[in-house]
Amino acid sequence: MGVSFKMVASLSVVALGALAWAGCASTGGSGSSVKVVDELEIERYLGTWYELASVPLRAQRDCVGTTATYSLRDDGDIRVYNRCLKGGFDGKVSDITGRAWVDDGRDPAKLNVRFFWPFKSPYWVVALDADYRWAAVSGPDQENLWILSRTPCMNAQTFAQIYEDLDRRGFPVDALRVTPQQDENGKRCEVSLPPEVAEVSE
């Protein structure tokens, strides 16, 4: 979303990397035990999110400054625009546009995302700040994970709390990699992973 959201037969920026940005087609389904947030107000969720960390996907290799922007379409679905810079903050823009929708109005935190017909993938909001300042997105099989923020920078304590909660719930936090971001002044922002995880990502 962020961003785009095995989650997408793809949220990817390249055609065969069309299995990226959000993952590959998931085999999970409604029988999944993954718990999503109890309430999600779509209108409040719209706008731009910065990807702070994710389980890396092929199409996102060398991506920095990754964002996902959501807006309402005329048909009531959600326009999804994922964007990153390849190779550095002065790199080439890599982007993709798709749509998302809620299958069951009783469970608005479980969305589907489509970038390439006929593939669709689950986009499940599994954690969300009360003020919609940050969110975590995964799917029914928990293989993919994104930590998103309304701002490119996040304080260490908040990120640690999100990380620990997701870890307790069985999400693949050990596979997370930091997504470099920049603030409006060009200052680089990166969240900190636990030392043992950071060592693997290097």
Q: What is the pTM of this model?
A: 0.83
| Over residues 114-138, mean pLDDT | 95
CATH of 16-201, one of 3.40.50.720, 3.40.190.10, 2.40.128.20, 3.90.220.20: 2.40.128.20
Residue 52 has pLDDT above 70, yes or no: yes
Instruction: Give tens-digit pLDDT for 24-37.
Output: 334 344 557 899 99
Query: What share of the chain has pLDDT > 90, as a percent?
Result: 69
What was the pLDDT predicted at 13?
31
Give the whole-angstrom CA distance, residue 48 versus residue 38. Answer: 22
- Window from 7-16, 49-58, 108-117 with minimum mean pLDDT: 7-16
Helix (H), strand (E), coil (C) string for 76-91: CCEEEEEEEEECCCCC
| Over residues 151-171, mean pLDDT | 97
Q: Rg (Cα) of the chain, in Å, rounded?
A: 15
What was the pLDDT predicted at 84?
97
User: What is the rounded average pLDDT for all residues in the chain?
Assistant: 84
Instruction: Provide the H-helix boundaries in the chain.
Output: 42-45, 156-168, 195-201
Query: What share of the chain has pLDDT > 70, as a percent?
Result: 81
What was the pLDDT predicted at 196?
53
What was the pLDDT predicted at 9?
31
Q: What is the largest CA-CA distance in the chain?
A: 46
Strands (E) across the chain are located at 47-54, 63-72, 78-86, 92-102, 110-114, 121-128, 134-138, 146-149, 177-178, 181-182, 188-189
Residue 74, both tokens: 């005329």
Residue 170 has pLDDT above 60, yes or no: yes
Residue 101 has pLDDT above 90, yes or no: yes
- Window from 16-20, 123-127, 163-167 with minimum mean pLDDT: 16-20
What was the pLDDT predicted at 103?
83
pLDDT band at 1 (very low <50, low <70, confident <90, very high): low
What was the pLDDT predicted at 71?
99
